[in-house]
Chain A
Amino acid sequence: KNEVEQSPQNLTAQEGEFITINCSYSVGISALHWLQQHPGGGIVSLFMLSSGKKKHGRLIATINIQEKHSSLHITASHPRDSAVYICAVWNYGGSQGNLIFGKGTKLSVKP
């Protein structure tokens, strides 16, 4: 079983829809990282969080430490949000190198 599971693997939405991507993990963590990868390949850091909720523009990330679960929400989705969204966690007590990645959720937003 993977230590970081994302769902769904693929998601197609219509422009304007509210989108939720889920991340569940089975290890104790120090922090969780949401990343975005566009079709060209480059990866951009969206959020790093260890508790509660963070918001940036139309993106909201939440984490529930007790339930070992995080969600990434996109409000008023737009075709430019089409990308792969990756969840990654730092294993509690692990080194900086011990970042465990999910396999990603591929989002396609249709106009």
Chain B
Amino acid sequence: DVKVTQSSRYLVKRTGEKVFLECVQDMDHENMFWYRQDPGLGLRLIYFSYDVKMKEKGDIPEGYSVSREKKERFSLILESASTNQTSMYLCASSRGRSYQPQHFGDGTRLSIL
């Protein structure tokens, strides 16, 4: 089974802090994604990556950056956390360039105080 592991289930940070969310997958998937999920808005794509050192902006990239130095690891960075970034963050991965199911991690519930 595909395993997508997010580093923390719950995280509390302060406004202005630099926050790192880590995601690791163990199935050699080419594609990795970061989403945020908010009540009433559903899942929204922040960034995705097709390959190592490659990244593309999703629908809501403002205030975020990403890093993919190794194929199995995709990091989401909040450069200067703000309260409106309090949310559930979900990482996903999928295989190849055709349309394949995305496999999700358990999510990180991030609170910015």
Contact = CB atoms under 8 A, between A and B. Distances in A.
A97 B101 contact: no
A42 B107 contact: yes
Given A42-B107, A90-B99, A103 B40 contact: yes
Contacts of B101: 33, 45, 48
Q: Which of B9, B43, B50 has the largest number of chain A CB atoms within 10 A?
A: B43
Interface string B37-63: 000111111001010000010100000
Interface residues of B, number: 28
Contacts of B9: 41
Contacts of A48: 99-101
Interface residues of A, number: 23
A86 B42 contact: yes
By secondary structure, the A interface counts as: strand
A101 B106 contact: no
A45 B102 contact: yes
Nearest to B31: A96
A35 to B, nearest CB: 8
Interface of A: 30-31, 33, 35, 40-45, 48, 50, 86, 88, 90, 95-97, 99, 101-104
Interface of B: 9, 31, 33, 40-45, 48, 50, 56, 58, 88, 90, 92, 94, 97, 99-107, 109
